[in-house]
Amino acid sequence: MAEKTMQEQLEEIQLKTAQMNMKIAERALQTFEAQERSKSVQNAQRQSELASKMRGRWQVAKNCSHRQGASPKNIYKGKGDTTLKKVKMMDGFTLLIHCGICRLAVFSPHPYDQNLEPQRDFRTGKMETEAQAKVRVRKWHRDTEAFKVLLEKSEESKSDEYSSTMDCGNTFEVKDGKGMPVYRRRPSDFYPQPTA
Task: Encode pLDDT of 83-130 as tens digits.
Answer: 888 888 777 778 888 888 888 888 888 887 888 888 887 677 888 899
Cβ contacts of residue 153 below 8 Å, gap of 6+? Answer: 66, 82, 84
Residue ranges per structural domain of the chain: 14-63, 84-115+141-189
Note whether 91 and 173 are within 8 A (CB): yes
Please state, in angstroms and rounded to a whole number, the distance separating the CA atoms of residues 189 and 54.
16
**Looking at the DSSP assignment, which residues form a beta bridge with residue 67?**
82
In the chain, DSSP assigns E strands to 84-88, 95-99, 105-107, 166-167, 174-175, 181-182
Low-confidence spans in the chain with pLDDT less than 70: 1-2, 122, 163, 167-172, 180-196
